[in-house]
Structure 1
Amino acid sequence: MMKKIRLIDTTLRDGMHAVSHQFSTEDVSAVVKALDDAGVDTIEVSHGDGLGGSSFQYGFSKATEEAYLKAAAGAMTNAKLCVLLLPGIGTHKELEMAANAGAKVVRVATHVTEADIGEQHIKIAKSLGMEAIGFLMMSHMVDVDKIVEQAKLFESYGADAVYVTDSAGAMIPTQITERIAAVKKAVSIPVGHHAHDNMGLAIGNSIAAIQAGADIVDGTCRGAGAGAGNAMTEVLVGVLDKMGYATGIDLYKIMDAADDIVMPRLHRPPMITKESLSIGYAGVYGSFLLHALRAADKFNVDARDILIEMGRRKTVGGQEDMIIDVAYELANRK
Structure 2
Amino acid sequence: MRLRIRGQSVQWAAGREAVAVVYGDVTIVVDEEDDLFYTRAALQAHRPAEGRITVQPTPASVSPAALAHDMLYALGKRLAPGPNSPDVWLDSVNAAWLAAAAWGVAMGVRHVVVPRAHLLTSRRIDQLLAWRESTGVQLTLLWQKPPRGLPPALARVERRISGRDQFEALLAEPGPIPARPSFPPALPAMTGAAAMAVAARQAPAPQPRGSGAASTRPGPPAPPCTGAMATAQLVQAAPALKIGSEEAAALAALAHPLIAGALSVLAFTRAGLGSLRFTRDLDITGDVCAIKLHGVGHRHCPLHAVPAWARPLLAGARAHHRLMAHSPEEGVFAPAMVAEARHLRAHAGRLPRLGLSLPAGALVP
Is the pair's TM-score, using the shorter chain for normalization, greater than 0.5? no
**Greater share of residues in helix:** 1
Q: Which has the larger radius of gyration?
A: 2
Q: Please, what TM-score do these two structures have when normalized by structure 2?
A: 0.24
